Structure 1
Amino acid sequence: MKWTKKDVGTGKANFPVQYDLSGRVEVIVKGSKTQVIGDCAFFLLRTSWTKFLCCLVGAYLILILFFALIYLAEADGMVCLIKDEPCDFWDALNLSVHSMSTIGFGSIVPQSALTHSAVAVEFWIAVLMGAGAGGLLFSRVSTASSRVAFSDVALVTNIRGCPTVTMRIVNERPFSSLFDVTCRVSALVKDPKAGMRILAPCELERSTNMMFRA
């Protein structure tokens, strides 16, 4: 349905609307709840391995630097057992790495209440991050996914006197085969009656394949 400015407020368009620079109506969605944790988990499950590892390493480094700055702000609250000099940034960074990785070599120990509390908080964050990262990694490895590639060029020709679009589809998994493959194709066309573009299903010469080998 295509709304105009006259329809707003008359009951025909009973939703909040706004107009872009070209005068077209844009629907404003209100009341939709955003789940930050669920959306982030879904992104980490569906993104590439490079982005997944970069996100994990980035979060790990940010937390290490954050707690290192906390330890550095309370430099007198930690003691280095292998030197007599006051603790510097690298000592605070080492304490943060040891606490985050739950190694605890014992060369740098907390002394004040602030550093003890920060170490405890960092430890539990490390445990939760390890559990979450392990669960995401297991889900990514255990979830089977197909790799189907389409040809860059589609051929338009006449088959039985009818204009037909042909394309090639291949299975990129070298050691696996897909069974009972079903394909559906739709074309985005403009409907003169509705005054908008719609997805029209296309009739395929062969829409199913019992075995799709690599």
Structure 2
Amino acid sequence: MGKNRKSPELRFIKRQGRSYLICLGTRPSWGSLYHFLLTISWWRFLALISAVYLAINAFFALLYLASGNGIASAHPGDFGDAFFFSVQSMASIGYGAMHPTTLYADILVVIEALVGFFIMAVATGLVFARFSLPTAKVMFSNFAVIAPYDGIPTLMFRAANQRGNFILEAQIKVSLVRNEITKEGDFMRRFYDLKLVRSQSPAFSLSWTVMHQINESSPLYNETAESLQEKVGELIVTLTGIDETISQTIHSRYSYISDEILWNMRFVDILSFTPDGKRVMNMTHFHDVMPLE
């Protein structure tokens, strides 16, 4: 007989308020634990670490209870005393009120001190890694629009750097994803890279209007709102660059489904000037669109 194969795992994930069903193949191994601990939310991370800490102390408390009267000044059979003695031993507090009195309890203290040392090292490393993890704070417009620009139909959407610093050597890539049927009748989900009017910025600080001209060489040529929706079209946007503050590479991503691509619409202007000639960015209208006149 052949080797037993693990059944594929199906999982729902949420991105930008939408749910996706993905197949992960075989179930994730323990090698994915580090990635899991870095990507879960802070409250889940703290809850998990606290639960592990309490569970380990409860386990050692049961082992101390098995020794009978191995802890001085502790009530025999009292789980609370054994638990608090375990906490003191793991944290190397040593108040002095309770201490081991038997060889069995001494061995448990040694083992628990070693376990506590590794737990503290792992927890400290995870907290530091989560704090130092480089993240981008880039906002994308809620919609992408298609409107004439210099007489050519152009796909446009906005991006803004919300940190107030510079993202150096910023690069944006946009791909069109749609369902297609090959000549052989096979279904495929195909990706097409879109050529942008400007795909990089040496110093991205405020707002960036990303544009793709829809000409004969564009994958969007001859597409309509109805045809794109029928093909389950979607735009995948990725932005990468170097955060000048921490000098590390950061990245951000976004996507626009066909319902979020508005035809014959344009963005409301957000740039204006003060009487003394200074530029003003009105971000309250960042997501606003209006019909073409």
TM-score, normalisation: structure 1: 0.72
- CA pair 167-28 structure 1, distance change in 2 beyond 3 A: closer
Asked if residue 206 in structure 1 is aligned to residue 198 in structure 2, the reply is yes
- Displacement after TM superposition at 1:28 (Å): 10
Alignment map for 1:115-194 (pairs within 5 Å): 115-160=105-150, 162-174=152-164, 176-193=165-182
Q: Which amino acid aligns with 1:144?
A: P
- Displacement after TM superposition at 1:196 (Å): 0.9
Asked if residue 113 in structure 1 is aligned to residue 113 in structure 2, the reply is no
RMSD (Å), alpha carbons: 2.8
| Whole-angstrom CA distance in 2 between matches of 1:185 and 1:96 | 55
TM-score, normalisation: structure 2: 0.55
Deviations 1:19-76 (A, max 9, x none): xxxxxxxx9968x9x651x422222233333333222222211111211222233342
CA contact (8 A) 1:79 1:87 kept: no
Is the partner of 2:148 in helix, strand or coil?
Answer: strand
Gaps of 5+ in 2: 8-22, 207-293
Q: Which amino acid aligns with 1:187?
A: L
Higher share of residues assigned strand: 2
Report how many aligned residue pairs link the two structures. 183
The aligned residue for residue 4 of structure 1 is: none
Is the partner of 2:114 in helix, strand or coil?
Answer: helix
Asked if residue 98 in structure 1 is aligned to residue 88 in structure 2, the reply is yes
- Displacement after TM superposition at 1:110 (Å): 1.8
- Displacement after TM superposition at 1:80 (Å): 1.1
Deviations 1:67-98 (A, max 9, x none): 122223334222217xxx53512101111110
Between 58-67 and 131-140, the greater mean CA deviation after superposition: 131-140
- Displacement after TM superposition at 1:202 (Å): 1.4
Query: 75, 79, 89: which is aligned to 2:72?
Result: 79
- Displacement after TM superposition at 1:124 (Å): 0.5
Gaps of 5+ in 1: 1-15, 19-26
CA contact (8 A) 1:78 1:87 kept: no
